[in-house]
Amino acid sequence: MSNPTATCETSLGTFTVELFVDSMPITAGNFVDLAKEGFYDGLHFHRVIEGFMIQFGCPHSKDPESPSQGTGQSPKGSIPDEHLDDAKFTNEPGTLSMANAGPNSGSSQFFINTANNAYLDWFSSGPSKHPVFGKVTDGMDVVSKIESTPTQPGDRPTTPVQMIKVTVHE
């Protein structure tokens, strides 16, 4: 059985991701469940840092002007960190990685790496631990377009970038 994919339709174009449910069942499964429930539809990318990553998934970002963007999580709460020896995926360009505020605090927010950020790998000696649970398989040009969006202080896009719809294909 192959991993599911998801089509991510944004206001700047569409990209497709593979979700590693075979090797990251908790983290990738959490994304799949939230996407199927429509949780991500209508949210905005709330943190964009060129040469690093684009971040998404905060429920407060439905309003792109909300000062609470980046502080919310899914109604299901946090999920445990998934640090599996047979799933040592590195934070390389195009990978989806769980955002968190410390151990076992991942929820709905994730980021897409736009640079090699191996120091964020859970198995690295870096200060932060972010498990990779998917990768962009088509539409990296759209991810690059989002990454190059002008931002205001706080790394928010000056012109909001909306996730119109996430559709999971199993």
Task: State the pTM of this model.
Answer: 0.96
Measured over the CA atoms of residue 35, residue 21, residue 12 and residue 63, the dihedral's sign is positive
DSSP string of 94-159, one letter each residue = TEEEE--SSTT-B-S-EEEESS--GGGSTTSSSS----EEEEEEE-HHHHHHHHTS-EETTTEESS
pLDDT in tens, 3-42: 999 999 999 999 999 999 999 999 999 999 999 999 999 9
pLDDT digits (tens, 9 = 90+) for 41-56: 999 999 999 999 999 9
> Could you give the residue numbers annotated as active site?
47, 52, 55, 100, 111, 120, 130
Q: Which residues contact 96 (CB under 8 A, 6 or more apart)?
A: 17, 19, 31, 110, 111, 112, 132, 133, 134, 135, 136
8 A C-beta contact, residue 170 and residue 33: no
Strand pairing class (13-19; 132-138)? antiparallel
Q: Is 79 within 8 Å of 107 (Cβ atoms)?
A: yes
Q: Which domains does the chain have, with CATH numbers?
A: 5-65+74-169 (2.40.100.10)
DSSP conformational letter for 10: E
CA distance 9 to 161: 11
Binned at pLDDT 50, 70 and 90, residue 82 comes out as: very high
Q: Are strands 110-113 and 151-152 parallel, antiparallel or unpaired?
A: unpaired
For the cut 70, the answer to whether the pLDDT of residue 1 exceeds it is no
pLDDT at residue number 85: 86
- Please say whether the beta carbons of 115 and 82 come within 8 A: no
Average pLDDT value over all residues in the chain: 96
